[in-house]
Structure 1
């Protein structure tokens, strides 16, 4: 099974993924950014974004399905997919290979997300990129209807618990009116 953690840059995908890997039995982490780094050592994306390389998207599908096939367990993949066509290509390709994908989108109100981006000392170099792509990310994920939305306002451990509950098929909903609440 693949647990794809999607959402805006800086929302807490990697932190959630690391905590989730420790919370789920036989779970491991795969970050497609490694493939992007590998590819950009050989080719320069014309737009500056490795996700725009068709080869990157192909390699993500092949790598994720290969990991699932040859190293069974739960693979946790933290990666923002802002382009709906790329998201469909990658997640659809994984599913077409017969691999179960559970996608979650971490959400946060814009003002809190901007504050979190500014406060991040670990990825301070990514601050500009994150802010520059925030409007597009918020628009993309506001129209996502086929993924589980999980509010990332809570402490990281609680966010990871909510993702784990979704993966296990448990029903844990935030309070009515909470931004992460799913329609019933």
Structure 2
């Protein structure tokens, strides 16, 4: 729920979902519609680390330092720059999701998590037709099963129909926030 008019509390809107589900697009549209919101993509923390720290798996999310820095960055942003923050980031590893979102909440920052739900056949078709992230195609396909398993077991997130057009996805998130 959004705070009442005139009250600004630290708040993060985490847009989760499988790779290729439309998180970044929806987050950008949501940021334009949510009064005072700013976008922060935790992927940039990974980009910052990769020249200095090698992940044995090639995935910066497997670095404990990445998860720690995401918690610190998101918490710091929410506390020091008191407007809504929108974070589009796939957290398909259940333990990492719990660590990051739990760490942010444990620091006293409100987190609203929305998972963009897209059926496997539609998700794979999107991945195949995406002309922007062509180089990530294999990566995305390789992680579909893990994403579907993780999100299929969640009971503490709000699910949004990710098959809708992006504007409708953003509107659905906004409606739930105002709820």
TM-score by length of structure 2 reads: 0.93
RMSD over aligned Cα atoms: 0.6
Q: CA deviation at 1:167?
A: 1.5
Q: CA deviation at 1:168?
A: 1.6
**Aligned partner (choices 5, 8, 12) of residue 18 of structure 2:** 8
**Aligned partner (choices 15, 24, 30) of residue 34 of structure 2:** 24
Partners of 1:136 and 1:76 in 2: CA distance: 24
Say whether 1:42 aligns with 2:75. no
Q: Deviations over 1:88-145 (max 9, x none)?
A: 1100010011000000000011111111111110111111100011011111111111
How many residues of Structure 1 are paired with residues of Structure 2 in the alignment?
169
Unaligned runs of 5+ in 1: 170-184
Say whether 1:59 aligns with 2:69. yes
**Aligned partner (choices 145, 151, 162) of residue 152 of structure 1:** 162
Which residue of structure 2 aligns with residue 181 of structure 1? none
Q: CA deviation at 1:82?
A: 1.0
Residues 113-124 of structure 1 mapped to structure 2, 5 A cutoff: 113-124=123-134
Unaligned runs of 5+ in 2: 1-10
Q: CA deviation at 1:40?
A: 0.6
Partners of 2:132 and 2:80 in 1: CA distance: 33
Secondary structure at 2:49 match in 1? helix
Partners of 1:164 and 1:106 in 2: CA distance: 13
**Aligned partner (choices 79, 87, 97) of residue 87 of structure 1:** 97
Partners of 2:49 and 2:136 in 1: CA distance: 19
Which residue of structure 2 aligns with residue 106 of structure 1? 116
Partners of 2:99 and 2:147 in 1: CA distance: 18
Q: Which runs of 4+ in 1 moved over 6 A?
A: none
Identify the structure with bigger relative contact order (alpha carbons < 8 Å, sequence gap 6+).
2
Which residue of structure 2 aligns with residue 179 of structure 1? none
Which residue of structure 2 aligns with residue 180 of structure 1? none
Partners of 1:52 and 1:123 in 2: CA distance: 21
TM-score by length of structure 1 reads: 0.91
Q: CA deviation at 1:29?
A: 0.3
**8 Å contact kept, 2:93–2:146:** no
Secondary structure at 1:56 match in 2? helix
